[in-house]
Structure 1
Amino acid sequence: MPKGKGAKGTKVTLKIAKKAIRMTPDGRRRLTLSNMGITIFPKCLLKLTNVDELDLSRNLIQKLPDNIGNFSSLRWLDLHSNKLESVPESIGNLVGLTHLNLSNNHLTSAGLPSTLGFLTSLKSLNLGMNQLDTLPPTMVALDSLQELGLFDNLFINLPEFLKVLRNLTKVNMKRNPLSYAQGDGEVMLKEKSEPEGGVYLVHESSLCRTCLKRCKEQRERLARGGGGKAGGGGERGRGGGGDMFEEKRIRTYAGLIVPNSVATVNQDVWRIRKVEHETIK
């Protein structure tokens, strides 16, 4: 396939890109170039400084330009289902990004730059279906992050910094080779007497049967008043009971099961991997 041409032989030029821009219901300018067989990121797109959202998903792009950070107007970037092996450091210049989808690529942990921690406006980050086993520690600075997709990767341990991201409430860690050798050590609770901060609870679907049974038994004891200990009338997280805990559950985000949680195109083809995995089980 000729460089810069799509599946139907259409060359992505600045003129074509401008014609593909559409206004979203909330008044943003979105450029959609999805599923066009693009092999090289069209550098002409960097001239479209007024584009707020860019969809280059379902292509064959192997590398992003080093100056991707010049696309300073971007708020929403979808690159899922390409062939990316790394992300350039300049992506940290896209400080206005609120949504970033890099799922279903060939990304390794070495290919994720520390500058991801500069994207402090990010609310949703999808890194599912890659080859990641760790995340840059600098991502601890992503205070605005609410949704994180890490499904279908190589994580043995949960990233430590997740529990301090106060706004993070939706995480998908399904189909990772997570180690639960520590048993209940994977379920972290914060007592009322500790300083205010985020608390991380592994979703019950990720626990082994033994751990799940143990957690349910503990929950029932707490619901009955802590097994005879002071419970402040059974009020959870507010009374003076020594066994009362203030909890925050990080829930599985169903919308991050597929590579593109906002696509309008039928996504049955993207569920094939999930179905095959469950069949093997």
Structure 2
Amino acid sequence: MSQDHIPGPVRRTYGADDLSQAASFAGGFINFGDWRGVRTTDPTTEDRVRSQENLYRRVLRAFPGPAESLRLGEVGCGRGLGAALALCEFRFAAVTGVDIHPDQIERARAVNAKALATFPDRLGYTLGSADDLPFADGSMDGLYSVEAAQHFRELTGFAHEAARVLRPGGRLVVTTFFSAVGPDVAERLSILLGSFANGLDVPHPLEGFTADLGAAGFAEVTTESIGADVWPGLDRYLEGTVPPGHWTRNFLPSWRDGLLDYYLVTATRR
């Protein structure tokens, strides 16, 4: 896949800039974390890594049935640490991480070389995008995406592509932050948060995504607000990590003001 197909902000952030090296994303998972049960009083780097692992665990526990029978794909796998965790800790039948950025796939294969060598037929990383997944029709038991959908330019194509590759009864699990609905929400987010201002993050309303899922062929769509488990803990970590006044400290007040929230979304392919 040519990098010309990658949106500019995504290409820079996950290419030469390598967001995983930012102090706020200790450990390389590149998510804001699920801080339930994690120390938030003067949190350490180890606490930050644990929060990011826990967000993956929260997503992966949403798949029903014996894990050993499920073939999963991760959409927006980044450095691939979550896919390796899914395989090694949950023992799914197979996990394939998909990312639009070739640099991330290269990093995933390097970082997880030992797991790839140990499970050559069960773990893999490959190029693909949310609206062009490298899987055959009805070939997957489950798909998941951890804090990547906010980068997708639109979610309608993702919903239809997920429906295409999942078998009937297959499950989609997505966690990320969604914007509120309102005439000035996008503008306010772009003022408060640099990732919205530069186009890296897109203000997707949750209601639009759930409607897309229903139209694409999904049923039993559920949404769970988990912002209380994400934003306060993240902000406590950022307090000792980023310079005073850094725009990332505005995620917490944006959540408190109702401009965005973090959700866990599940849906079943009809």
- Answer whether TM exceeds 0.5 for this pair: no
Q: Larger % of helix: which?
A: 2
Q: Larger % of strand: which?
A: 2
RCO higher in 1 or 2 (8 Å CA, sep ≥ 6)? Answer: 2
Normalised to the residue count of structure 2, the TM-score between the two structures is: 0.31
Q: Max radius of gyration: which structure? A: 1
Normalised to the residue count of structure 1, the TM-score between the two structures is: 0.30
